[in-house]
Structure 1
């Protein structure tokens, strides 16, 4: 991020930043806390910059050290923000005082170039309308159709053959890329009735996919930059903001093509072509192409990046824990003979627990922020002023001893399970959504939660029964790095070799 500041728009800040950074290197934090020192005008920006690349574990350590699991920090120019890993505070933000904590103008402006007025960047009536209409896509009938018609086709006709060929040819695959392609085809087919054919044996290069990755990364980095800096860069069309403008144009061109194609189909048939999400929106009277394009982009972000991120880290974790993989294989063999269908997937209790445990440690959306629209006080006593940003830190919450116990660092699916005395079988015991807000909680809880689990369990069941996924060794034996933008990714991809099970 600091390199991004080294452009024409920020030259005047360099002398001040250099002086403060030099001072901050010798300063000591408060003896009762690890919170960084705050300076006039620029607040704790030097420490925020210094720890930017390591911000997830850094904030986790700060929150673990806080008696309330909540901290208040001064960013710069008088702006304060709150970060919490306290379940009671999360419940307060996401449910009790839901009306106070909204996306807010600052959040919407930061992501507007990419997401526009889509559901993940909307508040009020706009958000309620999109959510109500979207909810029809997630009933039992739609979920069964999604598994049986969309996921199965993508699995058997594309994913499995690609893995089989890789195994036969002994090639190295970037499994993160493969899973993103898989999820992208799925969300486009179920959400828009459109097949982008991104997961073909040739693994075609897609201008949209590259542009989408860049747009998500740069948009996410805006949150950590000084707001005036990225706005000046955007106005002058320089640096990362110049690149963002180009890639967002590519993303919107792709999404708009899907919208126009669907509108033509509806106009030609004078009726609802199908019951996909896009058809519902276009048939609801909201035919404004920009608005519907915003919706398409938001659902691609949700359907492609979150599910693929969760599966990437899941396969990496079970490769390190053969005992967990063995238990999952045992369950797969017990539940299926010909395949893991809709009903079988719902009954995969141990696999479900392992997925939950994986997302506890590597949540697809590692942090989420709201903005207070009026003054408030958290249950732990933290004071919040109108306009302040508040963030609940999902990544840190998965590492809090108060929530998960002293063994929080262990990958242990059994923490989600208990034995049924009568049947002697595992029974899943869910954690409350405010202690485990991986899918958010309250009125904004993720509509696609069950769809995501069904999709992931189908992939796990069909891939693991056929193949062993073996990660390639990384330089110096280091573990992969968890990158956090709007969603979490594995830095450098996930190179693997695929071995057919005997």
Structure 2
């Protein structure tokens, strides 16, 4: 052990040089391999070699959408990346339901997010996933937890979100709506998951250490997925240099705070006496405490819910308001519908809004779903083929291959949504005045099959409540985003608009 310690001490000053040498060697081997062994003869891989997607498309996902639309089967095989990508609903159903056991998350994916999510529900397969899924299903399916979640969201809207927007309107100040939504959703999900208020959306818009660490951990974890080979980030992690050093620091901050909240909650329950139970508290952490005493396991579960519930809701709201700014007709119809259901005049702030009223707003429901069709919060999702298989469209898949289904591209497929697939038209979801749900394998925004999102209904309610509260009271004029081609997204786990969503806020005139 002493010899190993001495060697490690000697190695540290040279770690950057070693990392550079190893990386350069890997790149040279990669280039040499593909110099003599072309990626493949298909037009897709040749497109990788000869075309620059950035010259024609705003986002890499737009380029994939183009390639998938050109494919007769809606599937492409990018051999150089070892990735089968599909926008074919039959394939999606096969992967997510019919042959579910052959397409797990897989160890490569678990390794990418493992340091941040540990053994949380979104990062595991098999019995550990089944146990957490069953536990989460029991808790999230209860009326009491849904009511608690709605109370948290409505309180955050009325006490923080609306006042901040009113202040911005009074001052004639431009605000970054994406940043506001991220702060809102982080406060809400922390209250719901931990019973902890980080105060990101208080009037001074403070920088939260927890939110900043969580942002960094999410961003740097996502960057692992875009490197040429996992060997690169694993070497950097071993040497504790560069982005991996920053990631380790960010994850440590997230975990330390989460563990501190868990300890405090246990102490509070212990101090409350025998009459207090974990499940008697509204937040998710307190409820999970009644099923397990493992604090690390609790931490992983709750951090997973933070990741799922924060960025996805913020992304959905950001895209919705961008689309509404481009389609004032839809905004007008949402306001007219809400006036019929809630009433006009003083009802704009939705103090009396409830579940029943939200359910009656079919056009609002359609607009939210239509927005996520065009701009899903999670633009693509991957599984790993356990053993060799053939997809329903005839595409062969070797064991160990990454298989990606692409909701972003699917929303732009004329074969699925018709020739007007690129238009924002909520009416496509309405039949005889009633909102009609689409087949989840044509619209896998919330996944589908055994892994369908358990928080789907709560997320939609939150998005609708926020959207309605703001639409009824304010007008929004979007600033510097391009009107053609849509927003540009930063690569990551969820859809984040590059540069934010700057808007001028104005109080509505009667």
**1:34·1:65 contact (CA, 8 Å) conserved in 2?**
no
Structure 2 distance, partners of 1:439, 1:227, is 27
Corresponding residue of 2:226: 224
Q: Counterpart of 1:437 in 2: which secondary structure?
A: coil
Is 1:60 matched with 2:93?
A: no
Q: TM-score, normalised by structure 1?
A: 0.89
Is 1:253 matched with 2:256?
A: yes
- The equivalences for 1:262-277 within 5 A come to 262-269=265-272, 270=274, 271-272=277-278, 273-277=280-284
- The equivalences for 1:328-367 within 5 A come to 328-337=334-343, 338=347, 339=350, 340-367=353-380
Structure 1 distance, partners of 2:215, 2:300, is 16
Greater share of helix residues, 1 or 2? 2
Question: Cα distance, 1:328 vs. partner?
Answer: 0.7
**2:193·2:285 contact (CA, 8 Å) conserved in 1?**
yes
Q: TM-score, normalised by structure 2?
A: 0.88
Instruction: Specify every segment of 5 or more residues in structure 2 that has no aligned partner in the other structure, as ranges.
Output: 1-17
Question: Cα distance, 1:49 vs. partner?
Answer: 11
From 417, 435, 442, the counterpart of 2:430: 417
Structure 1 distance, partners of 2:58, 2:424, is 24
Structure 1 distance, partners of 2:59, 2:223, is 14
**2:315·2:495 contact (CA, 8 Å) conserved in 1?**
yes
- The equivalences for 1:98-497 within 5 A come to 98-135=100-137, 136-147=139-150, 149-225=151-227, 226-269=229-272, 270=274, 271-272=277-278, 273-284=280-291, 286-337=292-343, 338=347, 339=350, 340-419=353-432, 426-474=433-481, 479-497=486-504
Question: Cα distance, 1:464 vs. partner?
Answer: 0.8
**1:184·1:198 contact (CA, 8 Å) conserved in 2?**
yes
Is 1:73 matched with 2:81?
A: no
Q: Counterpart of 1:102 in 2: which secondary structure?
A: coil
Q: Counterpart of 1:35 in 2: which secondary structure?
A: helix
Distance 1:6 1:408, change over 3 A: farther
**1:45·1:75 contact (CA, 8 Å) conserved in 2?**
no
Question: Cα distance, 1:28 vs. partner?
Answer: 11
Q: Counterpart of 2:44 in 1: which secondary structure?
A: coil
Instruction: Specify every segment of 5 or more residues in structure 1 that has no aligned partner in the other structure, as ranges.
Output: 39-43, 420-425
Structure 2 distance, partners of 1:375, 1:20, is 25
CA-based RMSD: 2.7
Question: Cα distance, 1:293 vs. partner?
Answer: 1.0
Structure 1 distance, partners of 2:503, 2:34, is 41
Q: Deviations over 1:238-287 (max 9, x none)?
A: 22111111111122122222222222223223422414321122221x22
Moved more, 468-477 or 429-438: 468-477
Structure 1 distance, partners of 2:269, 2:140, is 18
Is 1:35 matched with 2:44?
A: yes
Distance 1:479 1:439, change over 3 A: closer
Structure 2 distance, partners of 1:327, 1:22, is 57
Question: Cα distance, 1:6 vs. partner?
Answer: 9.4
Q: Counterpart of 1:469 in 2: which secondary structure?
A: strand
Q: Counterpart of 2:100 in 1: which secondary structure?
A: coil
Q: Counterpart of 2:79 in 1: which secondary structure?
A: strand
**1:212·1:251 contact (CA, 8 Å) conserved in 2?**
yes
**1:20·1:46 contact (CA, 8 Å) conserved in 2?**
no
Corresponding residue of 1:423: none
Moved more, 253-262 or 289-298: 253-262
Moved more, 369-378 or 431-440: 369-378
